[in-house]
Structure 1
Amino acid sequence: MADESSQNKTLPATPRKIRKAREEGQIARSRDLGHFAVVAGALGALLLAGPLMAAMLRELVADGLRVDPALVADPQRMVERLAGFVWQGGAVVIALGALVIALAVAAATLVGGWNFTAKPLVPKLGKINPIAGFGRMFSKQQLTDTLKASVLAVVLGTVGALYLHAKLGEIQQVIALPLPAALAEASGLLFGGLALLALALAGFALVDVPLQRHLLAQRLKMSHQEVKQELKETEGSPEVKGRIRTRMREMSRTRMLAAVAGADLVVMNPTHYAVALKYDERAMAAPRVVAKGADLLALKIRDLAREARVPVLQAPPLARALYAHTEVDQEVPAALFAAVAQVLAHVYRLRDALGRGRVGDIAEGDLPPLPVPPELDPHRRRGAAGADA
């Protein structure tokens, strides 16, 4: 039995899937809105430029009916005059064609926005599969478009037939009118017919625009499994993220160990914890932890410090407190300022006494008792908790 999450697509499309669908050319488009825009544009052109177009047509017809004996005697002049008629008529056709193209693009952009992609032009073998094509013929989208086109054809045909029937007498009278009056009357009849068709198309466009958006949203719906897969692809698989985290920890550890050579002091437990400190009074408000580690990492910090001739102090309470309450690249807590200042001062005195040479390991007994608050020492806190129990 197929997994229900992979069969039932009930979740809305994610922004990533919508973006990919747009890249593939899947956007909402309304043909009815395009038809309405073209007819409405024709109405506007007829209303604004109708008198000019009628005058051009009268002039063109008059020139065409005018007989010039010189043209009959010279075929070349006849060809030139014919070319002039073609250019005059072609200018009108080109202008109308440009208007229709602009309106169609504007209508398409109004519904689904501007989207330029060449992916729909790429040949796909699946589209020539007769079985898949048969399924697309009876899909919800195709059945909806077929039904809508049929209803539109019936409505437009009915509107056109009723208009022609109502204006039949006026159409017959146009034939008997002089040419200027006939052109004016024909323009009025054409304008009225286009206005009725535009009203019908406007009604269909008002229904088709939200319908196309709804159908697109239905096609792009996702199942729970698809959403999980997309989330996995977006954020990465746990294995990949784990490897990235491991690599980042390794890089951070490498940088931290490299900073040990520039430390002023390493405080140890002596073997369980190690904390490297650095203090620059010109750039730091307080001593800062540049490296810390436990167990094997603590021993690594100790060895690197010895190689770099950095003093190593055996001070378990201070080492435990610093390890528990500080992070790398963080200043020491205010409660430990006194203890840290005391060990740094001791290191500086030893360096001055030895002429800035190697200080080496420093035993805790070489120092007076360090003022480490008991509540900051995790070892003492555990001991106190055990005694209370």
Structure 2
Amino acid sequence: MQLKLDLQFFAGEKTEKATPKKRNEERKKGKVAKSQDVNTAFLLLFALILMAVFGSFMKDNMLALFQHSFTEYINWELTEKTVFQIFLEGSMELLKIVGPIMLIAVIAGVASNLMQIGFLFTTEPLKFDLKKIDPIQGAKRIFSLRALVELLKSFLKIVVIGAITFTIIWMFKDDMLMMAFKNAESALSFFGRVTLIMGISATVALLFLAIFDYAYQRYDFEKNMRMSKQDIKDEYKNTEGDPLIKSKIKEKQRQISMRRMMSEIPNADVIITNPTHYAIAVKYDENKASAPYVVGKGVDHIAFKIREIAKANNVMTVENRPLARSLYSSVEIGDVIPEEFYQAVAEVLAYVYRMEKKV
């Protein structure tokens, strides 16, 4: 009894890698190995590169918008029409400034996801599920090992990014103190450059951490995808079908095939036997084939049934042991007689035709 329980326990233990079928089913549900840190790092990196390349363009457009606002818009009469026009023109200018960043953010997000999981579109995660608002399941997630790992990971990111930020500020501390003696444009240019250096450095560090996070996400995903030996057996049954049902279907197919074969026996020209164990029903119809062909064959019980049906329908039976055995092993039902048996079968058919003419 104890041994049986132990075997059941090990059979239910999830130690096997997930099958392709399960992976495909989970992927359709949106369950894939993905690191959000990779998405964040790519988004920040692309956005910072864009700001480094088009920073002056964005600054010029922003200054032009402020200048136009404080020289033109401030003198306009406040009416419904002017407010709408200010809003429309201001929105268009802001779109020109932030539009490239929004576009690059979308491109970076799509690219990072394609790199990790390829193309995947599913609405399964959007479906309403009561388990998602189950307080017990929520508490389990909060106090799970994964939650602890995420907490430590977040703490590590704060420490690393904080250290990088502090280091860069410390490097430029003397220049920052001297900004009090510079004009606004020089100060703005300096702080923009320092912010860009700080952002790119922090993003590179975040990208480095994202590689480890992606490796962990893959490990955790594979661990959660594991299957027990019983799961694999059940999946095989569902895929291939229950062996009992399959055997019944095959048995049914054999019965149908047997009935079809037996229905052709009355149309045969001759039954070649050995005489008790083998029976081969042969027919020659020049409109259907260029040579005689087998319409039925069988051994033992089936051979007996073939002879019985042949006798009931006045189909001649001829004993030829070597020919019966050779035809049974060489020719399938519906196939034409091979060339090496032409002479032997022709002699049998000639004998049958002579006997039928005498009758």
1:313 aligns with 2:317: yes
**Contact (CA 8 Å) 1:271, 1:295: kept in 2 or not?**
yes
1:117 — aligned with what? Answer: 122
Q: Secondary structure at the match of 1:10?
A: strand
Structure 1 regions of 5+ residues with no counterpart? 360-389
Aligned residue among 263, 266, 270 for 2:271: 266
1:130 — aligned with what? Answer: 135
Q: Which amino acid aligns with 1:44?
A: I
Equivalents in 2 of 1:285, 1:175: separation in Å?
Answer: 108
Change (3 A) 1:314 1:165: same
Change (3 A) 1:89 1:264: same
Change (3 A) 1:349 1:158: same
1:366 — aligned with what? Answer: none
1:382 — aligned with what? Answer: none
Aligned residue runs from structure 1 range 46-57, under 5 A: 46-57=51-62
Q: Secondary structure at the match of 2:15?
A: coil
Change (3 A) 1:310 1:122: farther
Scaled by the length of structure 2, what TM-score is found? 0.84
Aligned residue runs from structure 1 range 205-244, under 5 A: 205-244=210-249
1:146 — aligned with what? Answer: 151
Q: Which amino acid aligns with 2:317?
A: L
Q: Which amino acid aligns with 2:241?
A: G
Structure 2 regions of 5+ residues with no counterpart? none
Larger relative contact order (CA 8 Å, sep ≥ 6)? 2
Aligned residue runs from structure 1 range 1-389, under 5 A: 1=5, 3-66=8-71, 70-72=75-77, 76-77=81-82, 79-171=84-176, 177-178=182-183, 180-268=185-273, 273-279=278-284, 287-302=292-307, 304-305=309-310, 311-315=315-319, 317=321, 318-319=323-324, 322-323=327-328, 326-332=331-337, 336-350=341-355, 353=357
Equivalents in 1 of 2:73, 2:188: separation in Å?
Answer: 25
1:381 — aligned with what? Answer: none
Which protein is bigger by CA-based radius of gyration?
1
Q: Report the alpha carbon displacement of residue 187 of structure 1 after superposing the two structures with TM.
A: 3.0
Q: Report the alpha carbon displacement of residue 169 of structure 1 after superposing the two structures with TM.
A: 4.6
Equivalents in 2 of 1:242, 1:325: separation in Å?
Answer: 27
Cα offsets for 1:41-65 (capped at 9, x unmatched): 1122113222221221221222223
Change (3 A) 1:177 1:75: farther
Equivalents in 1 of 2:342, 2:77: separation in Å?
Answer: 115
Q: CA RMSD in A?
A: 3.1
Scaled by the length of structure 1, what TM-score is found? 0.78
Q: Report the alpha carbon displacement of residue 15 of structure 1 after superposing the two structures with TM.
A: 0.8
Change (3 A) 1:181 1:78: farther
Change (3 A) 1:57 1:344: same
Equivalents in 1 of 2:275, 2:237: separation in Å?
Answer: 45
Q: Report the alpha carbon displacement of residue 337 of structure 1 after superposing the two structures with TM.
A: 4.4
1:374 — aligned with what? Answer: none
Cα offsets for 1:251-274 (capped at 9, x unmatched): 322332343354332224566543
Equivalents in 1 of 2:347, 2:224: separation in Å?
Answer: 72
Change (3 A) 1:75 1:286: closer
Change (3 A) 1:30 1:68: closer
Change (3 A) 1:261 1:187: farther
Equivalents in 1 of 2:176, 2:86: separation in Å?
Answer: 32
Equivalents in 1 of 2:58, 2:120: separation in Å?
Answer: 35
Q: Report the alpha carbon displacement of residue 349 of structure 1 after superposing the two structures with TM.
A: 3.8
Q: When the two structures are aligned, how many residues end up with a matched partner?
A: 353
Q: Which amino acid aligns with 1:224?
A: K
Change (3 A) 1:303 1:177: farther
Larger mean CA deviation between 67-76 and 135-144 belongs to 67-76
Change (3 A) 1:75 1:123: closer
Change (3 A) 1:92 1:250: farther
**Contact (CA 8 Å) 2:61, 2:97: kept in 1 or not?**
no
